């Protein structure tokens, strides 16, 4: 069961700002990207799982395509920074991973699965003004959006 105490921000609404520790060695805030870059927030359940590994490696493989569309991809999970750092190193992941260890951002974005205490897979595309332009929450943990779909949504912002 997903915690719906907070509804996910819908397209057209401001994205909820947050600050989380990251594998970049510093805290990252969504507002850091305001007026600088579009942002793809990619919530994923857990590091070192098959679908999450494939998803995060695909983001790395398409890093330049996201960058060409003026987009930064931020992976968010409830794993600790040391776990995310090991995951990133082991798989050569080229994007920053953020630790929502206290589950506050997952709750705020309405993605926390209460029974499992981790986030469902979800995507939010936030424009440079901080407005959500597209959102998708996966119904099943084993499913994920392909990068082509996310890139099409980003192209629509141009």
Return the active site residues: 52
Find all residues with CB under 8 Å of 92, minimum gap 6, and list them: 57, 60
On whether the CB atoms of residues 103 and 45 are closer than 8 A, the answer is no
**In this structure, what token pair is assigned to residue 5?**
């105490």
Find, among 132, 107, 126, the residue nearest to 118 by Cα. Answer: 107
On whether the CB atoms of residues 133 and 153 are closer than 8 A, the answer is yes
């Amino acid at each position: 069961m997903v915690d719906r105490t907070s509804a996910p921000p819908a397209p057209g609404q401001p994205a909820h700002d947050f600050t989380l520790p990251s594998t970049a060695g510093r805290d990252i805030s969504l507002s850091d990207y305001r007026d600088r870059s579009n942002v793809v927030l990619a919530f994923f359940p857990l590091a070192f799982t098959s679908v999450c590994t494939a998803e995060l490696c695909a983001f790395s493989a398409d890093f330049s395509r996201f960058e060409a569309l003026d987009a930064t991809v931020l992976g968010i999970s409830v794993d600790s920074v040391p776990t995310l750092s090991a995951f990133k190193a082991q798989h050569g992941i080229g994007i920053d991973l953020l630790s929502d260890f206290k589950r506050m951002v997952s709750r705020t974005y309405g993605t926390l699965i209460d029974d499992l205490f981790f986030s469902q897979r979800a995507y939010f595309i936030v424009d440079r003004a901080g407005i959500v332009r597209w959102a998708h929450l996966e119904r099943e943990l084993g499913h994920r959006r392909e990068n082509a779909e996310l890139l099409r949504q980003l192209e629509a912002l141009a």
